[in-house]
Structure 1
Amino acid sequence: MDATAAPERDPADLVVLLDEDGEPTGTAPRLDVHTSDTPLHLAFSCHVTDGAGRLLLTRRALSKRAWPGVWTNAFCGHPRPGEDPVAAVHRYAEHELGLVLGDLEPLLPDFRYRAVDPGGVVEHEVCPVWLGRTTTPPRLNPDEAVEWTWVTPRELRTTVAVAPWALSPWLVLQLDQLPADVSLLDRAGALP
Protein backbone atom coordinates (compact mmCIF):
# COMPACT_ATOMS: atom_id res chain seq x y z
CA MET A 1 0.00 0.00 0.00
CA ASP A 2 1.21 3.50 -0.80
CA ALA A 3 2.21 5.17 2.50
CA THR A 4 1.04 8.56 1.18
CA ALA A 5 -2.43 7.34 0.23
CA ALA A 6 -5.36 8.57 2.31
CA PRO A 7 -6.67 6.01 4.80
CA GLU A 8 -9.71 4.08 3.70
CA ARG A 9 -12.78 5.54 5.37
CA ASP A 10 -15.20 3.48 7.40
CA PRO A 11 -18.69 4.91 6.77
CA ALA A 12 -19.70 3.90 10.30
CA ASP A 13 -16.82 5.86 11.87
CA LEU A 14 -18.91 8.80 13.00
CA VAL A 15 -18.88 10.97 16.12
CA VAL A 16 -21.97 12.29 17.87
CA LEU A 17 -22.25 16.08 17.69
CA LEU A 18 -23.68 17.84 20.75
CA ASP A 19 -25.33 21.14 21.59
CA GLU A 20 -24.12 23.26 24.52
CA ASP A 21 -26.40 21.29 26.87
CA GLY A 22 -24.74 18.04 25.78
CA GLU A 23 -27.73 16.83 23.75
CA PRO A 24 -27.10 15.05 20.41
CA THR A 25 -27.65 17.19 17.32
CA GLY A 26 -26.25 15.00 14.55
CA THR A 27 -23.13 13.19 13.43
CA ALA A 28 -19.90 13.89 11.57
CA PRO A 29 -17.09 11.70 10.19
CA ARG A 30 -14.47 11.25 12.94
CA LEU A 31 -11.63 11.92 10.50
CA ASP A 32 -13.08 15.32 9.60
CA VAL A 33 -14.32 16.66 12.94
CA HIS A 34 -11.03 17.78 14.57
CA THR A 35 -10.04 21.12 13.03
CA SER A 36 -9.34 24.65 14.23
CA ASP A 37 -13.13 24.98 14.73
CA THR A 38 -14.04 21.58 16.21
CA PRO A 39 -17.70 21.32 17.18
CA LEU A 40 -18.67 19.98 20.60
CA HIS A 41 -18.93 16.19 20.36
CA LEU A 42 -19.09 13.04 22.48
CA ALA A 43 -15.91 11.22 23.47
CA PHE A 44 -14.50 9.27 26.41
CA SER A 45 -11.21 8.88 28.21
CA CYS A 46 -9.97 5.74 29.97
CA HIS A 47 -7.33 5.23 32.63
CA VAL A 48 -5.99 1.70 33.06
CA THR A 49 -4.43 0.18 36.15
CA ASP A 50 -2.58 -3.09 36.64
CA GLY A 51 -2.54 -5.48 39.57
CA ALA A 52 0.35 -3.57 41.17
CA GLY A 53 -1.58 -0.29 41.41
CA ARG A 54 0.30 1.39 38.58
CA LEU A 55 -1.33 3.51 35.87
CA LEU A 56 -0.75 3.10 32.16
CA LEU A 57 0.48 6.13 30.24
CA THR A 58 0.81 6.09 26.46
CA ARG A 59 2.55 8.39 24.04
CA ARG A 60 0.31 9.41 21.17
CA ALA A 61 1.42 8.45 17.67
CA LEU A 62 3.43 11.08 15.84
CA SER A 63 0.88 10.90 13.01
CA LYS A 64 -2.01 12.03 15.24
CA ARG A 65 -3.74 15.20 14.08
CA ALA A 66 -3.95 16.65 17.61
CA TRP A 67 -1.21 16.50 20.23
CA PRO A 68 1.09 14.16 18.29
CA GLY A 69 3.74 12.53 20.46
CA VAL A 70 2.26 13.76 23.76
CA TRP A 71 2.05 11.48 26.79
CA THR A 72 -1.48 10.88 28.04
CA ASN A 73 -3.72 8.48 29.93
CA ALA A 74 -4.12 4.97 28.52
CA PHE A 75 -6.48 5.87 25.65
CA CYS A 76 -9.38 8.01 24.46
CA GLY A 77 -12.00 7.58 21.79
CA HIS A 78 -15.46 8.35 20.45
CA PRO A 79 -18.59 6.24 20.83
CA ARG A 80 -20.41 5.77 17.55
CA PRO A 81 -24.05 6.88 17.25
CA GLY A 82 -26.21 4.55 19.34
CA GLU A 83 -23.21 2.61 20.70
CA ASP A 84 -23.21 1.65 24.36
CA PRO A 85 -20.48 3.73 26.08
CA VAL A 86 -18.98 0.71 27.85
CA ALA A 87 -18.85 -1.21 24.54
CA ALA A 88 -17.05 1.77 22.95
CA VAL A 89 -14.39 1.79 25.68
CA HIS A 90 -13.81 -1.95 25.27
CA ARG A 91 -13.65 -1.58 21.45
CA TYR A 92 -10.99 1.12 21.67
CA ALA A 93 -8.99 -0.76 24.34
CA GLU A 94 -8.65 -3.69 21.95
CA HIS A 95 -8.06 -1.57 18.83
CA GLU A 96 -5.51 0.87 20.25
CA LEU A 97 -3.72 -1.20 22.88
CA GLY A 98 -4.67 -4.84 22.30
CA LEU A 99 -6.12 -4.91 25.82
CA VAL A 100 -9.08 -6.75 27.27
CA LEU A 101 -10.23 -4.76 30.29
CA GLY A 102 -11.98 -5.96 33.40
CA ASP A 103 -14.98 -4.09 34.77
CA LEU A 104 -15.06 -0.38 34.06
CA GLU A 105 -15.72 2.18 36.75
CA PRO A 106 -16.96 5.70 35.90
CA LEU A 107 -14.73 8.37 37.44
CA LEU A 108 -15.89 11.66 35.93
CA PRO A 109 -19.16 11.05 34.06
CA ASP A 110 -19.64 14.77 33.30
CA PHE A 111 -16.07 15.70 32.32
CA ARG A 112 -15.99 18.30 29.55
CA TYR A 113 -13.13 20.33 28.13
CA ARG A 114 -11.88 22.45 25.25
CA ALA A 115 -8.19 22.71 24.42
CA VAL A 116 -6.12 23.90 21.46
CA ASP A 117 -2.90 22.12 20.50
CA PRO A 118 0.22 23.98 19.26
CA GLY A 119 -0.79 23.33 15.63
CA GLY A 120 -4.21 24.97 16.18
CA VAL A 121 -6.30 21.77 16.28
CA VAL A 122 -9.12 22.01 18.81
CA GLU A 123 -10.44 19.28 21.06
CA HIS A 124 -13.97 20.17 22.25
CA GLU A 125 -15.58 17.24 23.99
CA VAL A 126 -18.04 15.99 26.51
CA CYS A 127 -15.73 13.22 27.63
CA PRO A 128 -16.78 10.84 30.44
CA VAL A 129 -13.74 9.39 32.20
CA TRP A 130 -13.45 5.67 33.03
CA LEU A 131 -11.09 3.46 35.03
CA GLY A 132 -10.36 -0.09 33.84
CA ARG A 133 -8.01 -2.84 34.88
CA THR A 134 -5.80 -5.24 32.98
CA THR A 135 -3.34 -7.99 33.81
CA THR A 136 -1.51 -7.94 30.46
CA PRO A 137 0.92 -5.53 28.83
CA PRO A 138 -0.36 -3.44 25.92
CA ARG A 139 0.29 -4.33 22.27
CA LEU A 140 0.29 -0.92 20.63
CA ASN A 141 -1.44 -0.10 17.36
CA PRO A 142 1.29 2.14 15.84
CA ASP A 143 -1.34 4.41 14.29
CA GLU A 144 -2.54 5.26 17.80
CA ALA A 145 0.41 5.12 20.20
CA VAL A 146 4.19 4.79 19.93
CA GLU A 147 5.25 4.14 23.52
CA TRP A 148 3.82 3.07 26.84
CA THR A 149 4.88 2.90 30.45
CA TRP A 150 3.45 2.05 33.85
CA VAL A 151 3.78 4.80 36.47
CA THR A 152 3.05 4.88 40.16
CA PRO A 153 0.53 7.36 41.52
CA ARG A 154 3.40 9.30 43.10
CA GLU A 155 5.26 9.50 39.77
CA LEU A 156 2.17 10.80 38.00
CA ARG A 157 1.50 13.35 40.74
CA THR A 158 5.07 14.59 40.44
CA THR A 159 4.94 14.80 36.64
CA VAL A 160 1.68 16.77 36.70
CA ALA A 161 3.13 19.13 39.31
CA VAL A 162 6.44 19.85 37.59
CA ALA A 163 5.75 19.28 33.87
CA PRO A 164 2.05 19.54 33.00
CA TRP A 165 3.11 20.76 29.53
CA ALA A 166 4.53 17.29 28.80
CA LEU A 167 1.09 15.68 29.19
CA SER A 168 -2.19 15.97 27.34
CA PRO A 169 -4.33 18.81 28.68
CA TRP A 170 -7.26 16.44 29.25
CA LEU A 171 -5.14 14.25 31.53
CA VAL A 172 -4.05 17.24 33.60
CA LEU A 173 -7.62 18.59 33.79
CA GLN A 174 -9.05 15.19 34.74
CA LEU A 175 -6.64 14.74 37.61
CA ASP A 176 -7.42 18.26 38.81
CA GLN A 177 -11.19 17.59 38.75
CA LEU A 178 -11.18 14.34 40.71
CA PRO A 179 -12.39 15.04 44.25
CA ALA A 180 -9.89 14.26 46.98
CA ASP A 181 -12.00 11.39 48.33
CA VAL A 182 -12.39 9.76 44.88
CA SER A 183 -8.86 10.11 43.61
CA LEU A 184 -7.86 8.06 40.59
CA LEU A 185 -4.36 8.05 41.98
CA ASP A 186 -5.41 6.59 45.33
CA ARG A 187 -7.73 4.01 43.76
CA ALA A 188 -5.40 2.74 41.05
CA GLY A 189 -5.02 -0.65 42.69
CA ALA A 190 -8.45 -0.81 44.33
CA LEU A 191 -10.48 -2.59 41.64
CA PRO A 192 -11.30 -6.25 42.31
Structure 2
Amino acid sequence: MEEYVVLVNPEDEVLGLMEKQQAHVNGLLHRAFSIFLFNGKGEMLLQKRAATKYHSPGQWTNAVCSHPRNGETYLEGAQRRLKEELGIETGLSEKFSFIYKADVGDGLWEHELDHVFTGMYEEGFNLNKDEVDAVRYISMKDLDKEMSENPEHFTEWFKIILEEYKHHF
Protein backbone atom coordinates (compact mmCIF):
# COMPACT_ATOMS: atom_id res chain seq x y z
CA MET A 1 0.00 0.00 0.00
CA GLU A 2 1.34 3.41 -0.95
CA GLU A 3 1.80 5.81 1.93
CA TYR A 4 1.18 9.52 1.45
CA VAL A 5 2.48 12.48 3.44
CA VAL A 6 0.70 15.76 4.02
CA LEU A 7 2.58 18.62 2.33
CA VAL A 8 2.44 21.90 4.26
CA ASN A 9 3.86 25.40 4.30
CA PRO A 10 5.85 26.65 7.33
CA GLU A 11 2.58 27.74 9.01
CA ASP A 12 1.29 24.13 8.81
CA GLU A 13 -1.32 24.96 6.18
CA VAL A 14 -2.04 21.94 3.98
CA LEU A 15 -0.82 22.21 0.38
CA GLY A 16 -1.72 18.68 -0.72
CA LEU A 17 -0.67 15.04 -0.52
CA MET A 18 2.29 13.25 -2.09
CA GLU A 19 3.51 9.68 -2.10
CA LYS A 20 6.00 9.39 0.78
CA GLN A 21 9.10 8.34 -1.15
CA GLN A 22 8.51 11.00 -3.83
CA ALA A 23 8.24 13.68 -1.13
CA HIS A 24 11.59 12.49 0.23
CA VAL A 25 13.16 12.59 -3.25
CA ASN A 26 11.81 16.12 -3.83
CA GLY A 27 12.70 17.33 -0.33
CA LEU A 28 9.26 18.92 0.15
CA LEU A 29 8.09 20.14 3.55
CA HIS A 30 5.62 17.73 5.13
CA ARG A 31 4.06 16.89 8.48
CA ALA A 32 5.91 14.55 10.82
CA PHE A 33 6.17 13.60 14.46
CA SER A 34 8.92 12.25 16.68
CA ILE A 35 8.46 10.35 19.93
CA PHE A 36 10.98 10.27 22.76
CA LEU A 37 10.21 7.61 25.39
CA PHE A 38 11.94 7.31 28.75
CA ASN A 39 12.01 4.79 31.56
CA GLY A 40 11.92 5.56 35.29
CA LYS A 41 15.73 5.98 35.37
CA GLY A 42 15.52 8.77 32.77
CA GLU A 43 17.04 6.61 30.05
CA MET A 44 15.88 7.19 26.47
CA LEU A 45 14.47 4.40 24.32
CA LEU A 46 16.23 3.94 20.99
CA GLN A 47 15.05 1.83 18.09
CA LYS A 48 17.30 0.28 15.46
CA ARG A 49 15.62 0.67 12.08
CA ALA A 50 15.01 -2.55 10.17
CA ALA A 51 17.70 -3.51 7.68
CA THR A 52 15.02 -3.57 4.94
CA LYS A 53 14.01 0.12 5.30
CA TYR A 54 14.42 2.12 2.07
CA HIS A 55 16.52 4.76 3.79
CA SER A 56 18.70 4.81 6.90
CA PRO A 57 18.46 1.02 7.40
CA GLY A 58 20.10 -0.44 10.49
CA GLN A 59 20.66 2.94 12.13
CA TRP A 60 19.64 3.87 15.66
CA THR A 61 17.05 6.58 16.19
CA ASN A 62 14.50 7.74 18.75
CA ALA A 63 11.52 5.56 19.74
CA VAL A 64 9.36 6.48 16.71
CA CYS A 65 9.49 8.97 13.83
CA SER A 66 6.76 9.00 11.23
CA HIS A 67 4.02 10.98 9.51
CA PRO A 68 0.37 11.63 10.36
CA ARG A 69 -2.05 10.58 7.65
CA ASN A 70 -4.40 13.00 5.94
CA GLY A 71 -7.17 13.89 8.41
CA GLU A 72 -5.23 12.49 11.38
CA THR A 73 -3.89 14.73 14.16
CA TYR A 74 -0.22 14.60 15.08
CA LEU A 75 -1.11 12.85 18.35
CA GLU A 76 -3.36 10.30 16.62
CA GLY A 77 -0.56 9.49 14.19
CA ALA A 78 1.95 9.17 17.02
CA GLN A 79 -0.30 6.77 18.96
CA ARG A 80 -0.95 4.74 15.78
CA ARG A 81 2.75 4.35 15.00
CA LEU A 82 3.62 3.35 18.59
CA LYS A 83 1.27 0.40 18.10
CA GLU A 84 2.40 -0.36 14.54
CA GLU A 85 6.16 -0.22 15.19
CA LEU A 86 6.67 -1.14 18.86
CA GLY A 87 3.37 -2.85 19.66
CA ILE A 88 2.74 -0.58 22.66
CA GLU A 89 0.41 2.06 24.04
CA THR A 90 1.40 4.85 26.41
CA GLY A 91 0.45 8.43 27.17
CA LEU A 92 2.21 11.13 25.18
CA SER A 93 2.50 14.88 25.59
CA GLU A 94 3.55 17.30 22.87
CA LYS A 95 6.59 19.35 23.84
CA PHE A 96 7.42 21.52 20.79
CA SER A 97 7.50 21.64 17.01
CA PHE A 98 10.10 22.87 14.56
CA ILE A 99 11.16 22.62 10.91
CA TYR A 100 14.32 20.85 9.79
CA LYS A 101 15.86 19.51 6.59
CA ALA A 102 18.32 16.61 6.54
CA ASP A 103 20.10 14.77 3.74
CA VAL A 104 19.53 11.07 4.47
CA GLY A 105 21.59 9.80 1.53
CA ASP A 106 20.80 8.21 -1.82
CA GLY A 107 19.21 11.43 -3.07
CA LEU A 108 16.61 11.47 -0.28
CA TRP A 109 15.72 14.30 2.08
CA GLU A 110 13.75 14.62 5.30
CA HIS A 111 12.18 18.10 5.26
CA GLU A 112 9.69 18.10 8.05
CA LEU A 113 7.47 20.19 10.25
CA ASP A 114 8.11 17.92 13.21
CA HIS A 115 5.94 17.76 16.34
CA VAL A 116 7.93 16.20 19.19
CA PHE A 117 6.17 14.10 21.85
CA THR A 118 7.51 12.54 25.04
CA GLY A 119 6.24 9.73 27.23
CA MET A 120 7.19 7.12 29.79
CA TYR A 121 7.30 3.40 29.11
CA GLU A 122 8.87 0.46 30.95
CA GLU A 123 6.96 -2.64 29.87
CA GLY A 124 7.50 -5.17 27.09
CA PHE A 125 7.50 -4.64 23.34
CA ASN A 126 5.97 -6.49 20.39
CA LEU A 127 8.29 -5.23 17.64
CA ASN A 128 7.17 -5.07 14.01
CA LYS A 129 10.24 -6.64 12.36
CA ASP A 130 9.43 -4.88 9.06
CA GLU A 131 10.09 -1.60 10.89
CA VAL A 132 12.36 -2.27 13.88
CA ASP A 133 15.27 -4.67 14.40
CA ALA A 134 15.87 -3.90 18.10
CA VAL A 135 15.23 -1.47 20.95
CA ARG A 136 17.30 -0.43 23.95
CA TYR A 137 17.37 2.17 26.69
CA ILE A 138 20.42 4.42 27.12
CA SER A 139 21.41 7.23 29.47
CA MET A 140 21.78 10.67 27.91
CA LYS A 141 25.45 10.70 28.94
CA ASP A 142 26.13 7.38 27.20
CA LEU A 143 24.07 8.46 24.18
CA ASP A 144 26.12 11.66 23.78
CA LYS A 145 29.34 9.64 24.01
CA GLU A 146 28.16 7.02 21.51
CA MET A 147 26.93 9.66 19.05
CA SER A 148 30.21 11.56 19.16
CA GLU A 149 32.30 8.39 18.71
CA ASN A 150 30.11 6.74 16.05
CA PRO A 151 27.79 9.31 14.43
CA GLU A 152 27.26 7.04 11.43
CA HIS A 153 25.33 4.61 13.67
CA PHE A 154 22.51 7.17 14.10
CA THR A 155 19.94 8.64 11.72
CA GLU A 156 20.61 12.15 10.49
CA TRP A 157 17.23 13.43 11.69
CA PHE A 158 17.74 12.00 15.19
CA LYS A 159 20.94 14.03 15.55
CA ILE A 160 19.03 17.21 14.65
CA ILE A 161 15.92 16.45 16.73
CA LEU A 162 17.99 15.47 19.79
CA GLU A 163 19.87 18.79 19.69
CA GLU A 164 16.57 20.67 19.39
CA TYR A 165 15.17 18.60 22.28
CA LYS A 166 18.14 19.57 24.48
CA HIS A 167 17.48 23.28 23.75
CA HIS A 168 13.95 22.91 25.13
CA PHE A 169 14.85 21.00 28.31
TM-score, with structure 1 as normaliser: 0.79
Match of residue 5 from structure 2: 15
Contact 2:36 2:62 in 1 (8 A): yes
Question: What does 1:31-70 align with in structure 2 at a 5 Å threshold?
Answer: 32-35=22-25, 37-70=26-59
Q: Which has the higher strand share?
A: 2
Match of residue 140 from structure 1: 127
Q: Secondary structure at the match of 1:128?
A: strand
Contact 1:99 1:139 in 2 (8 A): yes
Percent of residue pairs identical: 31
C-alpha distance in structure 2 between counterparts of 1:112 and 1:176, whole Å: 13
Match of residue 186 from structure 1: none
Which AA in structure 2 matches 1:115? A
Task: Return the offset for 1:116.
Answer: 1.6
Match of residue 78 from structure 2: 89
Match of residue 162 from structure 1: 149
Which AA in structure 2 matches 1:67? S
TM-score, with structure 2 as normaliser: 0.89
C-alpha distance in structure 2 between counterparts of 1:84 and 1:21, whole Å: 15
Of 72, 77, 81, the residue aligned with 2:66 is 77
Match of residue 114 from structure 1: 101
C-alpha distance in structure 1 between counterparts of 2:94 and 2:145, whole Å: 24
Question: What stretches of structure 2 of length at least 5 have no aligned partner?
Answer: none
Q: Secondary structure at the match of 2:105?
A: coil
Which AA in structure 2 matches 1:141? N
Question: What stretches of structure 1 of length at least 5 have no aligned partner?
Answer: 1-8, 184-192
Deviations 1:20-74 (A, max 9, x none): 4432101123354332x23211111111112232111011111111211111001
Contact 2:10 2:113 in 1 (8 A): no
Q: CA RMSD in A?
A: 1.9
C-alpha distance in structure 2 between counterparts of 1:164 and 1:113, whole Å: 18
C-alpha distance in structure 2 between counterparts of 1:31 and 1:172, whole Å: 21
Matched, 1:172 2:162: no
Which AA in structure 1 matches 2:131? E
| Structure of larger gyration radius | 1
Q: How many residues align?
A: 169
C-alpha distance in structure 2 between counterparts of 1:108 and 1:158, whole Å: 25
Contact 1:65 1:121 in 2 (8 A): no
Contact 1:66 1:122 in 2 (8 A): no
Deviations 1:144-185 (A, max 9, x none): 1111111112111222333333211221112222355x43xx
